[in-house]
Structure 1
Amino acid sequence: MTRQAISQSGQTVPRATPEVEVHVRGISTQYFECATPATWTDHVHATHELLWGARGVLTVEADGGFFAVPATLGLWIPAGVVHAVKSTQGTGFYCSNIDGQVVPHLAERTVAVTVPAAAQELLRHMSAYDMEDSLRAGSEQVVVGLLDVVDARPMLLPMPTDPRLELIARALLDDPALDRSLEEWSAEVAISVRNLSRLFHKETGMTFAQWRIHARVRVALGLLAAGYPVSSVSRRVGYNNPSAFVQVFRKVMGHTPGWYVSSIKAGNHHSLAGTE
């Protein structure tokens, strides 16, 4: 990646019988450590891209959605898909570029995938050491074979495309603690409250209030994964009362922030959508 400027049940999505033979021609992996906030503006790759091992707040815009990439899952971005990436200060993550022919469920759209420990170690090893050609080729096939697609809904936030709504959405993602009312936003973007409400639901499938709650939770996922305490996260995403934040988080995600943090520490790859 060149710098420029999940099912509520948590079950793995069943694989269809591959229509093409998987053939990996090469994998390269880099680790990015962001000492300051970083942005990779809209760009595209000729190879597939896998973002994984995120520590901190890593977000991706692709295929009309906003993905908050958690520590427990990876995000697969197919070759040719335009995407933008942002990270906050102190964020670290791996980026693997995969050149090859893959099965349709990895080639068609941006998806969340599990990246098990075995795949992670192979990717790190291949990036650090020389390997005999046949051994490397076999390892690359194994890595792709270990990736399982999971439902990305818990980490996906639909983004509006209307420029007025997009301005509001980006402002709330940049500062989820903003507490402007729908009336205040309608005045800012010069649209009636009624039309703003109608457009938001049409373009995102959510009311404005629902979308803002989901945006706050998506940002909170990264902050929790980065090690911030629940009390601090609740304030940073707009809740002065941590109990209110916990209640909202549990309603959206199906479990509490404490459960999510414990699952990350335990290496649970389905911690985005578990149940207590």
Structure 2
Amino acid sequence: MSQIGQDAPPVWRIGTNSFDVSDRVEWEKHVHEARHELLWGSRGTLTAETDDGYFAVPGALGLWIPAGVAHRVVAAAGTAFRCTFVEAEIAPVAPSTTAVVIPEVVRALLDRLEAAPYLAPAARLHAEELALGLLEPVEVATVDLPIPSDERTRRVAEAILADPSDDRTIEDWGRHVGASARNLSRLFVAETGMSFAGWRTRARMRRAIEWLAADHTVVSVSRRAGYATPSAFVQAFRREIGRTPGEYASARSRSARISA
């Protein structure tokens, strides 16, 4: 399997790698200095983290990552997606990491460019310019979630991200990692700028966006995110994201219709 952390072969100015993973795969933070990157999915849950935020990439959308931007990517088990590299000399679709609508015609053009690398230069240039020109930036919800570096707080953070429904108290977590509740609380504030409770809420929203992007129901997501009722989850989601889960899903659906 190709490595997402490696640039595509230099086939003209645009090249695409295809990925179909049976198990969860994580590509640690890396940078492509000479190429922009377009991540676009077709099945499953693909997430990316940059300094601009944490993005869940639904099948109807793609994620534009400009050249030189460090990013970490995670593909859930059963995810299929594409990674299109664009030479950095080409003007970026957006100056920062941005979700983009990918119309069906763009998907077809990118597939054609990959399947026929020896197109006549003029035809290929026209197809490349058309594909990039039809990409449309769109606003999506993102969650900024600093990950603590201290071993004890990081263990807690990773456990909560793995299972946001885990409702252990700060005292419980302190006993689990060998730290007092007071010290653990102090570390969370010092390393993330948030209280433990605030960080856990943000972590729940981060996973919730991921699950909503994969078309799980609000009821299912509220339970998996650790909320006793869907209404409690909806209220928390609105406070953190600025819209309800239903409004978030509707925005994604509109983007899907635009891309059809």
Q: TM-score, normalised by structure 2?
A: 0.76
Aligned to 1:171: 159
Within 2, Cα distance between the matches of 1:114 and 1:105?
A: 9
Aligned to 2:48: 60
Structure 1 spans left out of the alignment, 5+ residues: 5-23, 271-276
Q: Secondary structure at the match of 2:164?
A: coil
- Aligned ranges for residues 74-223 of structure 1 at < 5 Å? 74-103=62-91, 111-117=97-103, 119-130=106-117, 131-147=119-135, 154-164=141-151, 165-223=153-211
Q: Does 1:40 align with 2:40?
A: no
Q: Is the contact between residue 18 and residue 83 of structure 2 (CA under 8 Å) also seen in structure 1?
A: yes
Matched to 1:112, the amino acid is: T
Aligned to 1:31: 18
By relative contact order (CA 8 Å, sep 6+), the higher-ranking structure is 1
Distance 1:113 1:64, change over 3 A: closer
Q: Is the contact between residue 166 and residue 226 of structure 2 (CA under 8 Å) also seen in structure 1?
A: yes
Shift in Å, 1:185 = 2.3
Q: Is the contact between residue 238 and residue 245 of structure 2 (CA under 8 Å) also seen in structure 1?
A: yes
Distance 1:91 1:240, change over 3 A: farther
Distance 1:218 1:196, change over 3 A: same
Deviations 1:163-191, CA, capped at 9 Å, x for gaps: 33332222222221121212222333444
Within 2, Cα distance between the matches of 1:179 and 1:155?
A: 23
Matched to 1:50, the amino acid is: L
Q: Is the contact between residue 67 and residue 88 of structure 2 (CA under 8 Å) also seen in structure 1?
A: no
Within 2, Cα distance between the matches of 1:65 and 1:170?
A: 18
Q: Secondary structure at the match of 1:155?
A: coil
Within 1, Cα distance between the matches of 2:94 and 2:150?
A: 30
Within 2, Cα distance between the matches of 1:194 and 1:151?
A: 39
Q: Is the contact between residue 61 and residue 99 of structure 2 (CA under 8 Å) also seen in structure 1?
A: yes
Q: Is the contact between residue 37 and residue 87 of structure 1 (CA under 8 Å) also seen in structure 2?
A: yes
Distance 1:169 1:103, change over 3 A: farther
Shift in Å, 1:96 = 0.9
Residue identity (%):
43
Shift in Å, 1:95 = 1.2
Within 1, Cα distance between the matches of 2:255 and 2:92?
A: 28
Within 2, Cα distance between the matches of 1:112 and 1:39?
A: 20
Aligned to 1:241: 229
Distance 1:163 1:197, change over 3 A: same
Q: Is the contact between residue 222 and residue 233 of structure 2 (CA under 8 Å) also seen in structure 1?
A: yes
Within 2, Cα distance between the matches of 1:74 and 1:139?
A: 18
Shift in Å, 1:217 = 1.8
Q: Does 1:69 align with 2:93?
A: no
Q: Does 1:256 align with 2:257?
A: no
Distance 1:210 1:120, change over 3 A: farther
Q: Is the contact between residue 71 and residue 264 of structure 1 (CA under 8 Å) also seen in structure 2?
A: no
Within 1, Cα distance between the matches of 2:42 and 2:210?
A: 9
- Aligned ranges for residues 264-275 of structure 1 at < 5 Å? 264-267=252-255
Within 2, Cα distance between the matches of 1:247 and 1:200?
A: 24
Shift in Å, 1:82 = 4.5
Q: How many residues align?
A: 248
